[in-house]
Amino acid sequence: MRLYDVLIQPASLADASAILDLQRRAYQSEAALYDDDTIAPLTQTLAELEADFQQQFYLKAVLDGTIVGAVRGYERDGTCFIGRLIVHPDCQNRGLGTQLLRALEAHFPTVQRYELFTGTGSARNLHLYQKQGYRLFRTARLTDKVTLVYLEKTKRVSSIETMT
């Protein structure tokens, strides 16, 4: 995969089925990591994902006409909540996740904070998020097998902004 061949653009409801298929494929490694194939990204239905399109903004990464990545987010009270950053297993570790994350952040330029979560055992995810400036602010036990790590990134207020 050559990164310059990937197009990142808004996804539409017509992309829901392809995104769900990719999500299920991408989250197989997480399910194996936690020995739990009942994690939400694997059990989400098409109807549930389609309903999410009404409340969240979706970006997709397209390579040769195929969706190879996606991410979703929404804004509430000055925070952009980011969810389910997914990249096709054959396209991982090539910077596509970083591109999607940055593109989603750019779509929400007025927020002061970004928030996302992953599992404590998801070292690659944690590495990516921390490399992009996200910092741990809490953990929460989801099941006997899964503890979630919540990370946030806040925008710095420049001296010019504080003067206006």
Give the span between the Cα atoms of 123 and 120, in whole angstroms. Answer: 7
User: CB 144: neighbour CB atoms within 10 A?
Assistant: 7
CB 61 within 8 A of CB 100: yes
Average pLDDT, the chain: 91
CB 84 within 8 A of CB 100: no
Q: pTM here?
A: 0.89
| pLDDT: which is higher, 144 or 138 | 138
What is the CATH number for 102? Answer: 3.40.630.30
User: CB 76: neighbour CB atoms within 10 A?
Assistant: 9
Highest mean pLDDT among 29-43, 53-67, 148-162: 53-67
**Can you give the residue range of the structural domain that contains 146?**
3-163
**Residue 159: predicted pLDDT:** 45
Instruction: Give Cα separations from 14 to 10, 11, 17, 20, 24 (angstroms).
Output: 11, 8, 7, 11, 17
Half-sphere exposure (CA, 13 Å, Cβ side) for 89? 9
Q: Which is it for the CA torsion 76, 161, 99, 128, positive or negative?
A: negative
| pLDDT: which is higher, 73 or 158 | 73
**Residue 35: predicted pLDDT:** 87
Average pLDDT of the segment spanning 24-42: 90
Average pLDDT of the segment spanning 91-117: 96
Domain count, the chain: 1
CB 38 within 8 A of CB 93: no
Q: Give percent of the chain above pLDDT 90.
A: 79
